[in-house]
Amino acid sequence: MALADLDIAGEEARVTPIRKTRDLVEEGIKKGYKNIVACGDDSTAHEVINTLAGLKVSKEEICFGIIPIRPSKIAQVLGVPSHEEAIKTISKRRIERVDLGKIGDQYFLISCDIETDESLARPDSFWRKLSFMTRGLASAPKIELNFKEGYRVTAQPTKVCICNILDYGKGKLRIKTDGYMTTNVSPQDELLDVVIVGKLSRSSLLRHLSDIQCNNFGRIPNVSLFRTKKVNISSENPISVMIDRQKMKANNFNCEVVPRKLNVIVGKERKF
Amino acid sequence: MFKDAPQAPEEAAGQTIVGNSVKLEGDLILDEDITINGKVSGKVSTSKNLGIGETAEVKADVEAENIVISGKVEGEVKAREKLEITETGKVAGNISAKTLSVAPGAIFSGQCTMEGEGKAEEAKEAEEETEE
């Protein structure tokens, strides 16, 4: 099925070495298009979102949509699991206005993951897993988080995840404490949820490795949760930050929520 | 932890959890349930429920609607409704609550005020003055 089959007209623009995603989006806005649909994967979607979020013109009517060509977390959270579903979703044009997270000068829709050990990001080879098992996280750097709400948290975490949307469930974040606690994570509450996975023993780390990678916090012990409008994160050593699957490295950065920043076209299977 | 607390919903609109390997300094003033299992110093205040776990070390004045203490607290504790100190709880500081429960094995040193008691005495004195 194509968009034309549903009487949806528009202009198709392809990224080339000369015309990048940002140029195409800005051109489309200048021409007066109200719906900007990214056709690709998370990398493409991330660039389009950042361009739309960074626009200085009024963008009340401009909407972001996605047609996933490859597996895409952003497509999943917006309730667009497949190419066919995406076309139907765009034709129905159900719109939600959502918050975005902002770290440095990068916006994110889903989450920003801070990993204190490179191995956690991709322990996919046997030898890396073995090295991870014997070394553990003894060298995990100390991280300080200064929250706008007036308190400071110090930890040597295995991982810090700053969530705007949960990419599983229906926005219900489950945390293991004395039993379990469940809380709502919503991209429409003007807050970010900061989840800190504390230092774990080696055996615990190995047991929960895939849970840590998938942000499945309900199965991991020693987890903290804070909700904030803005947090400054600093560390003595540079730490890796994954933003909607794009990577950057820094010692010190601010992360804040930008309320009601983007209109998105959503399907009924969305995660919020 | 809050099984006896009035209407503690299974899914709270918001939660803050201080894990057991985390240290928090400053004023934690919120409108949601708070669970502390780590180290906290400063001030803790919420309009909802507060749970202080066995591994928690709190050097702060704490205030909440209902409070359950299973760890160490140094500071003033004020519960607007119920305060429960479990068998592993240790409190050094003054406490006040409408309803108090201290389990065998709990350790408490400080002054205790039951809020309802003071008001009942004042009402009785006012009544006697009126009769006179």
Residue B60 confidence (pLDDT) above 90: yes
Per-residue pLDDT reduced to its tens digit, B110-120 = 999 997 655 55
Residue A6: which residues within 8 A CB-CB, separation 6 or more?
Answer: A87, A88, A91
Percent of chain B, pLDDT > 90? 74
**Which among A147, A175, A179 has CB closest to B17?**
A175
Q: What pLDDT is stored for residue A60 in this prediction?
A: 67
**Which among A150, A156, A179 has CB closest to B29?**
A150
Decide: A192 and A254 in contact? Cβ < 8 Å: no
What gap in Å lies between CA B15 and CA B49, rounded to an integer? 10
d(CA A152, nearest CA chain B) in Å? 5
Residue A77 confidence (pLDDT) above 70: yes
A195: part of which helix (H) or strand (E)?
strand A192-197
Per-residue pLDDT reduced to its tens digit, A144-174 = 999 999 999 999 998 899 999 987 777 788 8
Tokens of A245: 């699957």
d(CA A150, nearest CA chain B) in Å? 6
**Does residue A45 or residue A173 have the better pLDDT?**
A45
Q: What pLDDT is stored for residue A4 in this prediction?
A: 56
Percent of chain A, pLDDT > 90? 35
d(CA A77, nearest CA chain B) in Å? 21
Residues of B in contact with A149 (CB under 8 A): 28-30
CA–chain centroid gap for B116, Å, is 16
Residues of A in contact with B48 (CB under 8 A): none
Q: Any idea which of A46-55, A84-93, A251-260, B30-39 has the lowest mean pLDDT?
A: A84-93
Q: What is the longest distance spanned by two Cα atoms in chain A?
A: 59
Contact B15 A224 (CB under 8 A): no
Residue B9 confidence (pLDDT) above 70: no
d(CA A151, nearest CA chain B) in Å? 4
Q: What pLDDT is stored for residue A93 in this prediction?
A: 85
Q: What is the mean pLDDT of chain A?
A: 84
Decide: A92 and A268 in contact? Cβ < 8 Å: no
Q: What pLDDT is stored for residue B46 in this prediction?
A: 97
Contact A184 B17 (CB under 8 A): no
Count how many residues are written for chain B: 132
Averaged pLDDT, A118-134:
56
Tokens of A153: 């948290």
Contact A196 B19 (CB under 8 A): yes
Q: What pLDDT is stored for residue A29 in this prediction?
A: 87
Q: What pLDDT is stored for residue A184 in this prediction?
A: 84
What gap in Å lies between CA B132 and CA A186, rounded to an integer? 62
Q: Token pair 């070390």 is at which residue? A: B57
The number of beta carbons lying within 10 Å of the beta carbon of residue A57 is 8
**Does residue A149 or residue A15 have the better pLDDT?**
A149
What's the angle, vertex CA A223, arms to CA A219 and CA A224, rounded to 5? Answer: 145
Decide: A130 and A252 in contact? Cβ < 8 Å: no
Averaged pLDDT, A212-237:
90
Q: Which residue, among B51, B44, B41, has the nearest Cα to B17 in the 3D structure?
A: B51
Q: What pLDDT is stored for residue B38 in this prediction?
A: 96
CA-to-CA dists, residue B24 to A117, A197, A254, B28, B43, angstroms: 23, 15, 19, 9, 10
Residue A54 confidence (pLDDT) above 60: yes
Q: ipTM of the assembly?
A: 0.85
Contact B13 A184 (CB under 8 A): yes
Pairing of strands A230-243, B57-69: unpaired
**Does residue A247 or residue A145 have the better pLDDT?**
A145
Residue A5 DSSP one-character state: G
Q: What pLDDT is stored for residue B119 in this prediction?
A: 52
Residue A227 confidence (pLDDT) above 70: yes
Decide: B48 and B63 in contact? Cβ < 8 Å: no
Q: Any idea which of A39-48, A253-262, B3-12, B42-51 has the lowest mean pLDDT?
A: B3-12
Q: Kindly state whether A151 is in contact with chain B, defined as any CB-CB distance less than 8 angstroms.
A: yes
Q: What pLDDT is stored for residue A125 in this prediction?
A: 57
What gap in Å lies between CA B71 and CA B90, rounded to an integer? 6
Per-residue pLDDT reduced to its tens digit, A188-214 = 999 999 999 998 888 888 888 888 888
**Which among B12, B16, B21 has CB closest to A226?**
B16
Q: Which of A41-45, A119-123, A133-137, B62-66 has the highest mean pLDDT?
A: B62-66
Per-residue pLDDT reduced to its tens digit, B71-103 = 999 999 999 999 999 999 999 999 999 999 999
